[in-house]
Amino acid sequence: MSELFDLTPEQRQLVDLPPQSRIFLEGPAGTGKTTAGAARLLRLLEAGIPASEILILLPQRTLGTPYLEALNQPEAFTGGMVSLLTVGGLARRMVELFWPLISAQAGFSRPDEPPTFLTLETAQYYMAHLVRPLLGEGYFESLTIDRNRLYSQILDNLNKAAVVGFPHTEIGERLLAASDAEPSQVRIYQDAQECANRFRGYCLENNLLDFSLQLEVFAHHLWGLPQCRDYLNASYRHLIFDNLEEDTPVAHDLVRDWLPEIDSALLIYDHDAGYRRFLGADPDHACLLKDGCEQHILFEASLVSAPAVQALNLGLGDRINRSRQPLPAEDPRPALLYETHRFFPEMLEWVTGQIASLVYDEGLPPGQIVVMAPFLSDSLRFALANRLEARQIPVRSHRPSRSLREEPPAQCLLTLAAIAHPQWGFTPGKFDLAYALMQAIEGLDLVRAQLLTEIVYHVRQGAPTLSAFDQIIPETQARITYLFGERYDTLRLWLEQYQQDAQDEAHILPLDHFLSRLFGEVLSQPGFGFHASYDAGQVTANLVESIQKFRWVAAPTFGQTDAALGKEYIEMVKDGVIAAQYLSGWQIEAEDAVLLAPAYTFLMNNRPVEVQFWLDVGSRAWADRLEQPLTHPYVLSRAWQPNTQWTAVEEIATSQERLYRLATGLLRRCHSRLYLGLSELGEQGMEQRGPLLLAFQRLLRDLAALEEQS
């Protein structure tokens, strides 16, 4: 089966090493390391190693695709199943399994109750629950920040403590020691520490496990527990750990500890990467794993980039680093195409034209093209997708999360839920209802929906009510049409019936069940807006799942009724705490389509393409780290020396390093050509001269000078 891969001699040599080997494979991206890893996996299976004894560890699940593809070959293996896990996933499984043995010693107040695992959303919810009252007491007073960002950064600090491996009680101290100790900043860090402490205390009291606590319980209480260790050692004898530079120090510690106990290991390390540093990745620390392996192998030759792209990569990298290296012998210019425009939309036109030419004139498959920007705003995504679709070029888009509360079907569902539950005290605005009716009733336009709403929607004694269509004067009925009127009445009567039933509190449905029933019995029936709308079905499913997870977690903690939890959920949505982000599941996407993606998302998909387009090249966002006033990826890292100050010098140095790694990583995943979409004014209409643009300018100047000299 490993013959499925067309391997180089170096790859073949690695794959053919005896099964009982511990191998550290390193090299730049694009040198065929993961391909060798997938081929090695098949070779282990061929050698008779049971699939269930193989564990593939990855820092992020998107990186598992090459291994899944190899395993999905019909003849790949027969028997048990290979496990593909992140260290976080492994931690959760072990906590779930061995909970009864460690719940008391780990400090949980209810050791005889099961654990409740928090998702990102539900963790934010509990954080909001604890922090909101403190805001009224003056916590974070000097900070202007969205509340959900505030909550997520406190959680992020806890996660950093867990993945780096220091006590969460030291977060504030570490941040303070590195700061310039401005009184307002001191207070902010103290507040952040206090909130982290309270959150952790609350979790221990209520058997709640956010990501950080899952990992800490695993590392501190399970890893050394004989039953758990024996189980792991009996289950997994062979380890493949890919992209370990993107994983965290605690993940590395666990693997380093485990290596002597397992039969074989292949550890794969990418040079010049570490793109998930803001999530605690530590590429320098990952190198320590080399000592645990007997075989050290280096792949150096690119199997991806054409010589001109490699030269471009070298030349650009040197200019980002401001090193005085001579220009590469190969001329990089055949690999670089660009055109400067005054305005952003002009640049988008040029980009679209170039893509059309690549697809229609050169016959390049659209799937071999990626368009990237440091951040891909919805407007940029929309503008590009529209232009490409107008030219019949398929497009797909990757984004890490989508805002559920902004999806029209979700807005419609939540508006109708508010009307069905007058006891909640929410009164949707007229426009919200008109918009909801437009979504709910197939074919109803906004003008008719607004007319209908004006007449039938009233707020009586603070409660929203809907009146019947037949109470409208005939002329207006005719304008709205009887067909829409009949559908409106079906919906109204359904809501009314529910309200009547719900007068008995026992008949109030959990919000997710209410929405499922509304969806199934009305909105997805023929004549209604969600019927045969697969997108509306997906959005409703995401919303229902989000509410259900919230209810399952919150109900045992608060002992609230289902009705009260529905109201609480909607309040949290309004506050932006939940449904602000939602990890979209499997989506139907055209595979052979131009990919629009933020640069880091493309990198973490780890799929080389023929041609790349970089937009917004003048933006500083290519180099700058995210503005995070409550946390710090470098200070809260293992390498950071305590009591050292983070100054502008470190900021500039890390920014330069980040840009270098990003540009290099992208170009190592580019086969033949890079297009730069340049505009004097950026998307926001501002003139931009960020370091990436300056590096390109320096490179082009140096090339021109060299040409003149020769």
Judged by CB under 8 A, the chain residues 602 through 641 that form the site for other proteins are 626, 628, 631
Cβ atoms 398, 602 nearer than 8 A: yes
Of 359, 348, 345, the C-alpha closest to 391 is 359
Q: Which of 47, 81, 459, 704 binds other proteins (CB under 8 A)?
A: 81
Strand 457-460 vs strand 463-466: parallel, antiparallel, or unpaired?
A: antiparallel
Contact between 100 and other proteins by CB under 8 A: the answer reads yes
Residues 493-552 that bind other proteins (CB under 8 A): 509-510, 513, 515-517, 519-521, 524-526, 531-534, 537-538, 540-542, 544-545
Among 5, 24, 108, 117, binds other proteins (CB under 8 A): 117
Which amino acid is located at 685 in the chain? G
CB of 119 to other proteins, least distance (A): 6
Please state the closest distance from residue 700 (CB atom) to other proteins, in A: 33
Nearer to other proteins, 278 or 338 (CB): 278
Interface pattern 562-601 for other proteins (x via CB under 8 A): x------------------x-x-xx-x-------------
The nearer residue to other proteins, 403 or 476, going by C-beta atoms, is 403
348, 384 Cβ separation under 8 angstroms: yes
Cβ nearer to other proteins, comparing 19 with 328 = 19
Angstrom distance (rounded) from CA 687 to CA 361: 34
654 binds other proteins (CB under 8 A): no
In the complex, the smallest distance separating the C-beta of residue 215 from other proteins, rounded to whole angstroms, is 10
Q: Which of residues 130-149 bind other proteins (CB under 8 A)?
A: 146, 148-149
CB of 630 to other proteins, least distance (A): 10
Per CB under 8 A, does 231 bind other proteins? yes
The answer to the question of residue 47 lying near other proteins (CB under 8 A) is no
Counting Cα atoms < 13 Å in the Cβ hemisphere of 317 gives: 18
- Contact segment (CB under 8 A) with other proteins among 19-27, 115-123, 168-176, 415-423 equals 115-123
Within 13 Å of residue 181, how many CA atoms lie on the same side as its CB?
7
Q: Is 106 in the site for other proteins (CB under 8 A)?
A: no
Q: Is there binding between residue 21 and other proteins (CB under 8 A)?
A: no
**Tokens representing residue 199 in the block:** 């959150």
Enter the tokens of residue 90.
């492994």
Helix (H, G, I), strand (E, B) or coil at 344: helix
Q: Does 682 bind other proteins (CB under 8 A)?
A: no
Does 197 help bind other proteins (rule: CB under 8 A)? no
Does 437 participate in binding other proteins (rule CB under 8 A)? no
Q: In terms of CB distance, is 450 or 628 closer to other proteins?
A: 628
Total residues contacting other proteins (rule CB under 8 A)?
89
3-state secondary structure of 178: helix
- Report the candidate in 636, 630, 643, 644 with the shortest Cα–Cα distance to residue 194: 630
Question: Using CB under 8 A, which of 32, 249, 274, 280 touches other proteins?
Answer: 280
What whole-number distance in Å separates Cα of residue 172 and Cα of residue 196? 9
Regarding 97 and contact with other proteins (CB under 8 A), the answer is yes
Nearest residue (CB) to other proteins, 553 versus 674: 553
- Which tokens is 195 given? 């909130």
Give whole-number Cα distances, 418 to 384, 422, 434, 571, 582, in Å.
36, 7, 14, 11, 22
Tell me the C-alpha to C-alpha distance, in Å, between residue 335 and each of 327, 355, 555, 600, 706. 15, 15, 58, 22, 18
Q: Which is nearer to other proteins, 14 or 213 (CB)?
A: 213
Report if residue 92 touches other proteins, rule: CB under 8 A: yes
Residue 106 C-beta: closest distance to other proteins, Å: 15
CA–CA separation, 637 vs 639, rounded Å? 6
Handedness of CA 82, 85, 91, 92 (dihedral sign): negative
Binding pattern for the stretch 353-392 against other proteins, x by CB under 8 A and - elsewhere: ----------------------------------------
Contact 235, 142 (CB under 8 A): no
Q: Provide the sign of the torsion angle of the four alpha carbons 301, 304, 307, 311, taken in this order.
A: negative
Residue with smaller CB distance to other proteins, 79 or 429: 79
51 vs 217, beta carbon nearer other proteins: 51
Task: Based on the shown chain and the rule CB under 8 A, indicate whether residue 50 belongs to the binding site for other proteins.
Answer: yes
Q: Would you count residue 120 as binding other proteins (CB under 8 A)?
A: yes
Under the binding rule (CB under 8 A), the answer on residue 88 touching other proteins is yes
Nearer to other proteins, 450 or 538 (CB): 538
278 in contact with other proteins (CB under 8 A): yes
244 touches 267 (CB < 8 A) = yes
Which span (116-124, 291-299, 328-336, 685-693) binds other proteins, by CB under 8 A? Answer: 116-124
User: Of 71, 393, 609, 662, which one interacts with other proteins (CB under 8 A)?
Assistant: 71
d(CA 90, CA 84): 9
DSSP 94-144: HHHHHHHHHTTTTT-S-TTSPPEE--HHHHHHHHHHHHHHHHHTTTTTT--
Q: At its nearest, how many Å lie between other proteins and the CB of residue 278? A: 6
What is the C-alpha R_g of the chain? 28
Q: Is 51 in the site for other proteins (CB under 8 A)?
A: yes
According to the binding rule CB under 8 A, does residue 400 interact with other proteins? yes
List 8, 52, 423, 560, residue binding other proteins (CB under 8 A): 52
CA distance linking residue 518 with residue 520, whole number of Å? 6
Residue 271 in tokens: 């040079």
Which residues in the 443-482 window bind other proteins by CB under 8 A?
Answer: none
Q: 69 vs 505, which CB is nearer to other proteins?
A: 69
**Contact pattern for other proteins over residues 208 through 227, marking x by CB under 8 A:** ---x--x------------x
Task: Report how far residue 323's alpha carbon sits from residue 314's, in angstroms, rounded to the nearest whole number.
Answer: 11
Closer residue to other proteins in complex, CB, 345/537: 537
The separation between CA 75 and the C-alpha centre of its own chain, rounded to angstroms, equals 33
Task: State how far the alpha carbon of 221 is from the alpha carbons of 100, 102, 559, in Å.
Answer: 12, 7, 30
Instruction: Select the span of 97-105, 292-300, 453-461, 607-615 touching other proteins (CB under 8 A).
Output: 97-105
Taking the complex as a whole, how short is the minimal distance between the CB of residue 622 and other proteins, in angstroms? 16
Provide the 3-class DSSP secondary structure of residue 18.
Answer: coil
**Exposure pattern of 462-478 as b/e (b: 16+ CB <10 Å)?**
ebbbbeebeebeeeebe
